[in-house]
Amino acid sequence: MKKIGCHDLLFLRHDKNATGESLLRRILAGDKVFYTYSDQFADASVLDKLVSGDRVYIGAHRLADGSYWLHWLVSEQKGILQPQAADERHPSVLVLQMVGFVVLSALALSGFFWFSSLWMAVILALLLCFGGWGCFSVFCQLTTNATRRTRQSLQGFERVMHGDVTLCQTSGTPPPDSFDDERMPDEPHLACIPSIATRVSARREIIGSGEYQREVVDYQFSCRAGRLTFRTAVNPMQENLNPLLLREHPFFLAANDPLTLLIARPSNAVIGIENRRDGSTYLNRPSGLAISLQRLGWLYKTLAVCYLSFMLLLACFTLNDWWHQGGMPDKWDWLDAAETLTSLGVLGMMLCCGLMLLLEVAGWLARRDSLDAAGFVLARQKLAQFKRRSGKSAYLQDVA
């Protein structure tokens, strides 16, 4: 969780996301870019009252791509963008919700010992999942609201509201607009098209079936290449997170945003977008392509956590056996435990390494033999080049 910073900036502009996803807002102020959801605040109409040149005081934390997530805003002339959390004085409601979800989970769990019907088992399993997810969500909200950073954000908001702006950092001047509409040289597997997005809209839908079902948002817009669609995945867990825990902002596209589109050939699918208005870059894998490098890194971390959890579980079973046999373990117990843990540890490591090798070989073959993969690799390189050209770190958001 990043530290909450306070900024003293000159407001430039405020944009809403595409129609259908307009809860997400983008604020340009000084040389910084801020994102936020309008339903985080008691009254978001203050954003519509601000005009270019207004002085604003903003509390926000930094995201992975160098932009910021806005938590509150104060303008002496136009009003206050007050967070909903500022009105939560007592956590009693959350505690009651936690008790209710715990009781529901306990009743669902105990029901498995009383009912033998398959349909009742399915219903109880759904209730147990709902109760478990509710407990987790309320617990995250309780712990987040009690953290030092939450208190720091609210204290900074209170100080600025009462006129103490000494904690706010001033910002530099915004970079000049360089919306060059000159067409860039194309690659054999990739077309680079600068254009302006118009008639922007967004639509959510469920695709797939069964365990492969997922929610996506299709952004449609018109540009010099025609009417195009850019599909982004929706992560319900990330949408329900407390804003303090966010590390990335969702995909954002407003009307009249200048873009650089990266279109794969011969499929003509949009696999990369650079938004030159705010400097964000988005990468989307073509369907059927091997897993992206960013998700591959997360998979490797997950494998490491699973391996360590497996070894810890084995150690706990060994300690439990020693506890039940009574007395202190002798030398042979220690040797037997060491042999078992070593054998299973090596076996588990071999399985993890074998899976990682298969993933790497599959990705290498896809990048070598697939035209879509070749365009995807070029798109990733181009987007990283765009970020470095603007003086930012080459962080790309994978929205697949």
Which stretches within the chain are classed as H helix? 46-49, 92-111, 118-145, 148-161, 236-239, 293-325, 331-369, 371-389
51 and 195 in a single domain? The answer is no
Return the sign of the alpha-carbon dihedral for residues 101, 106, 107, 111: positive
Q: Is residue 153 part of a domain?
A: no
Q: Is the pLDDT of residue 278 over 60?
A: yes
Q: Which of 11, 6, 46 is nearest to 29 (CA)?
A: 11
Q: Does 324 score more than 90 pLDDT?
A: no
Q: Which residue do the tokens 């011969």 mark?
A: 266
Q: 66 with 120, same domain?
A: no
Read off φ and ψ for residue 387, nearest 5 degrees: -65, -45
Based on the domain organization, do 124 and 250 belong to the same domain? no
Residues 208, 307 share a domain: no
Q: Which of 108-117, 231-240, 255-264, 312-321 has the highest mean pLDDT?
A: 255-264
Residues 44 and 134 in one domain: no
In a domain, 140, yes or no: yes
Q: What's the rounded Cα separation, in Å, for the pair 47 and 40?
A: 13
Expressed as residue numbers, the domain containing 365 is 293-369
> HSE (CB half, 13 Å, CA atoms) of 136?
9
Q: Do the beta carbons of residue 229 and residue 220 sit within 8 Å?
A: yes
Using the 8-state DSSP alphabet, how is residue 84 labeled? G
- Residue 87 has a pLDDT of 42
At residue 33, does pLDDT exceed 90? Answer: yes
Co-location of 263 and 392 in the same domain: yes
| pLDDT at residue 374 tops 50 | yes
**Quick one: which of 391, 119, 400, 135 has its CA closest to 287?**
400
Instruction: Please write the tens of the pLDDT for every residue from 42-100.
Output: 888 899 999 998 999 999 999 988 899 999 999 988 889 888 754 444 556 767 777 88
Q: Would you say residue 393 has pLDDT above 50?
A: yes
pLDDT at 343: 87
Residues 267 and 198 in one domain: yes
Residue 250 has pLDDT above 80, yes or no: yes
* Nearest to 193, CA basis, from 185, 205, 204: 185
Number of domains in the chain: 4
